[in-house]
Amino acid sequence: MPMNAHAPTLSVLVPAFNEERTIVQVLRRLLALGPLLKEIVVVDDGSEDRTPELVREMAACEPLIQFHRLSENSGKTAAIRCALEMATGDIIIVQDADLEYDPAEIPDVIAPIVAGHADVVYGSRFLVRRTTRVLYFYHYLANVSLTFLSNLLTNRNMTDIETCYKAFRAGVIKPLRLTSSGFGMEIEITALVTKTEARTYEVPISYYGRSYEEGKKIGMWDGVMAGLYIFYYNLVAPHLPAGRRYIADANGSLAEPDRGYVPASVTTSSVRSR
Ligand SMILES: Nc1nc2c(ncn2[C@@H]2O[C@H](COP(=O)(O)OP(=O)(O)OP(=O)(O)O)[C@@H](O)[C@H]2O)c(=O)[nH]1
Ligand SMILES: [Mg+2]
């Protein structure tokens, strides 16, 4: 007997900054997820290209797309902070708007939550390689180093903390009021979630990385900031009142009786939404 009566609903959060080349395709591929999907929450981060127009056009004829535009460019974390406030699904996952991650793999990423084993799942680009574009070694080294440093302070054996594919039971992530900026959310979320009792899993995913010529934006400064954030969000923030409150709230949500949704034998493809 499932621990609660309804099947889980899924909210996909899409932060978008100047992604006119890919946003339409990302949204089409997300809509192809079918009945699993409750909503797609797109937050445009003050784009200067046609991203907001393209999303508005699609949202006008597709009720599953919720759209909000930030008046000025504020960073991925700010976009996700806003999207989290709008999200209403039982399970929440982030989808970058640049097609480096394949929306068709979302059911695999959330499967451990749907099956009731996990409260948090990270899609890892390094756990087991599926399809992975060969690109920058220094970028890889930065990712591995940041994950290693984070693991040292969290005592978790994670393989890819900077991944875009982070999925959560809503009760774990909704109480978190993100305080970092830029791409700090990847570190902040990882640091605080690992202080909770959330059962965290990883799932291997593909990675269709882009080159700098194709629009890659992340740079060395983002890596330096991530390193500083690792120290701050692991050693300082959990002891501040807001950090303590978040950890207590997340643990509270984990104590709810409907911790699992459906028995492990039920696959995501048979899970209905709404
Ligand atoms: N770079 C950047 N991305 C933003 C910003 N605000 C929202 N985003 C979105 O956040 C997501 C991740 O940004 P990316 O630039 O792809 O970051 P990344 O995948 O870590 O790095 P890349 O290798 O540059 O692709 C994308 O969907 C962006 O559109 C911003 O201010 N800067
Ligand atoms: Mg990207």
Q: Using one digit for the tens of pLDDT, what is the confidence trace for 207-239?
A: 998 888 887 878 888 889 999 999 999 999 999
Q: What is the pLDDT of residue 7?
A: 85
From 77, 161, 217, 220, mutation site for ligand 1 pocket: most ligand atoms within 8 A of C-beta: 217
CA distance 56 to 105: 25
The answer, yes or no, to whether residue 119 has pLDDT greater than 60, is yes
The answer, yes or no, to whether residue 134 has pLDDT greater than 90, is no
Among protein residues, the one with the nearest Cα to ligand 1's atom 26 is 96
- Ligand 2 centroid to Cα of residue 163, in Å, is 9
- Ligand 1 centroid to Cα of residue 6, in Å, is 34
The model carries a pTM of: 0.91
CA distance 168 to 17: 23
Find, among 43, 24, 38, the residue nearest to 98 by Cα.
24
CB 226 within 8 A of CB 32: no
- Buried-state track 72-100, b at ≥16 Cβ within 10 A, e below 16: eebbbbbbbbbbbeebebbbbbbbbbbbb
In sequence order, which residues have a C-beta less than 8 Å from that of residue 212 and are 6 or more positions away?
none
Is there an atom of ligand 1 within 6 Å of 19 CB?
Answer: yes
